[in-house]
Amino acid sequence: MSEPDSTRQQTADLDALIRRVDPDRWLSSRFIGQAAPRADVIALYAFDHELARAPRVASNALLGEIRLTWWREALDEIFEGRLVRQHPAAQALAAAVARRGLPRGPLETMIDARYRELDPAPMTEGEVLDWARDTGGLAAQLAAQMLDAATEAKMALAGGSAWSLGKRLADNPELRPTFLKVIHAARSASRNLSVAAFPAVAHAALAGRPAQNDFARRLRLTIAVARGKI
């Protein structure tokens, strides 16, 4: 049975959004061969994007908390089988959860991790490692699980964490030693992922590097995917 036109349009719109706001992970998703799992991974990235926006767009911590609570309530609807609110990312996430059997725990942890960003105090090294693991790390683990249920999805955790840390280096150069430790672990762990699951961490190959043009980024990702190594 073919998808309704509205569903196809929603999928296209979310894909275009992630291409604009999350180009690294959008590029890595191009190496997912089948359209359905690619759309489900994009839905996960759209959810993560919405969580990341909450601390950035809120004018104060309370408004940020309200936005994050909104997404926790959306998870209630998804996992309790209730009507899911009319939001493209929430609708797409609900479909991905249903198709892939995703657990609630990691998705809720991804929400919890964003509360720390509402606190203006600098993160300690331990806090930033926890934050990276529970944001980009868990997103990568869930993506790997969606792409290949038989793979060791936890092997994607370090790659996703390294990517998240790499995004902070421009503003927090003191994190580079920590980033280097995590990316080293990610390179080792990623070798245990199946070919099908590797796009869940391929974007870590771009982490912590100077800005490159689109061709150079695509080439680096292509090499990483071909070698199965970040």
Note the pLDDT of residue 31.
Answer: 98
Evaluate whether 179 touches 166 at the Cβ level (below 8 Å). Answer: yes
Q: What CATH number did the domain enclosing 91 receive?
A: 1.10.600.10
Evaluate whether 72 touches 47 at the Cβ level (below 8 Å). Answer: no
Note the pLDDT of residue 48.
Answer: 98
Split at pLDDT 50, 70, 90, the class of 1 is low
Q: Quick one: CA dihedral 146, 152, 155, 161, positive or negative? A: positive
Note the pLDDT of residue 109.
Answer: 98
> Residue 212 pLDDT more than 90?
no
- What's the full length of the chain, in residues? 230
Cα-Cα end-to-end distance for the chain: 38
Structural domain total, the chain: 1
**DSSP string covering 19-55:** HHH-HHHHHHHTT--SHHHHHHHHHHHHHHHHHHHHH
What integer best gives the mean pLDDT of the chain?
A: 95
Note the pLDDT of residue 2.
Answer: 59
Task: Supply the pTM of this predicted model.
Answer: 0.95
Q: Quick one: CA dihedral 221, 11, 105, 193, positive or negative? A: negative
Give the tens place of pLDDT for each residue, 5-34. 778 898 999 999 999 999 999 999 999 999
Evaluate whether 230 touches 187 at the Cβ level (below 8 Å). Answer: yes
What domain range includes position 54? 5-227
